[in-house]
Amino acid sequence: MPNRPKVAFIGTGGTISSLGTDSLDILDYTATGIRLTADAILDRVPEVRLIAEVVAVPFRAVASPAIGFTEWRDLVWLCERLVQQHPDLAGIVIGHGTATLEETAYAMSLTLTVACPVVLVGSQRPISALSSDAGLNLVAALRTAAAPASRERGVLVVLNDEIHAARDVTKTSVARLQTFRTPDFGVLGQVDGASVRYYRRSERRHAPGTPFDIRGCAALPRVDVTYAYADADGTAVRAFVAAGARGIVSAGLAPGMTPPGEADALEEAVSAGVIVVQSTRAGSGVVPLTTRLAERGILSADNLTPQKARILLALALTVTRKPAAIAEIFATY
């Protein structure tokens, strides 16, 4: 069909690529070990070719729990090459498992070197399932990536006809289709049929143009997450410090507190030169920089979830170890 926008589709695996034993297998489908490549996914959703000239891009197909820094770096490289190879590229869609989709999206939103819209998409049901959401999610993601209004918004996440900012979205349910939510602020926009509509814009900075260049990095500085609970005594904190952590994110009790034993261990970590950032296990809301935190030398994660605060802290540590500069980074991105 003429005048279709060109969109690249990178398949990294995940539920959106998975085949279960039959159409009713919506929970134990990973047991088959079958994950389709990008071109095979497109073949199962032929409608995508009605809306875009889709370029299938090979990548390793893995379960999303196995995706981390190496894949983030390689995807940044790959997006860069695609834009160079296809000057007429309207956008890029990355198929991804939902378990770590929000982390990949945020990491790429901080490290991409291209202005081309990049959209991450997944599904809650395998592509082989009865009433799978994989096909329509993919169509919505392609439409979003191709829309001119999607430029300069950072990396986007599209599922369930909703468009989310990579920084703010999180997975909130194991199996429900509406699992991806932005608790504090809501969606950026929606995809209704062929219409891609935006209603707000994220104010936090994002790539391209950030100071975080991971293309030449072999690894990120080690940053670990500790989870607060009643009677937590700091054992995990001390173990992470002993393992060489350069940063620790505390998933504290709301609004950003820890039991006394863990608080002492975090203060010891700061004294040892480890950067400690206080987040919360609540899932939403800003951690206030209280007198108690400031006196202990602990920084605020703003409203980032612990898993996203870990990413930003690790990237911040590639450019500075000064607490004041890192605090400014958390207020900016």
Residues belonging to the active site? 15
Q: Is 249 helix (H, G, I), strand (E, B) or coil?
A: strand
Q: What are the tokens at 90?
A: 């309207």
Q: How far apart are the first and last CA of the chain?
A: 40
DSSP output for 184-220: TT--SEEEETTEEEE-----S--SSS-S---TT-S-P
DSSP string computed for 31-58: GG--B--HHHHHHH-TTHHHH-EEEEE-
Task: Write the CB contacts of 71 (distance below 8 Å, at least 6 apart in sequence).
Answer: 12, 60, 62, 104
- The span from the CA of 225 to the CA of 251, in Å, is 7
Q: CA-to-CA distance for 54 and 39, rounded, in angstroms?
A: 9
Residue 82 one-letter amino acid: L
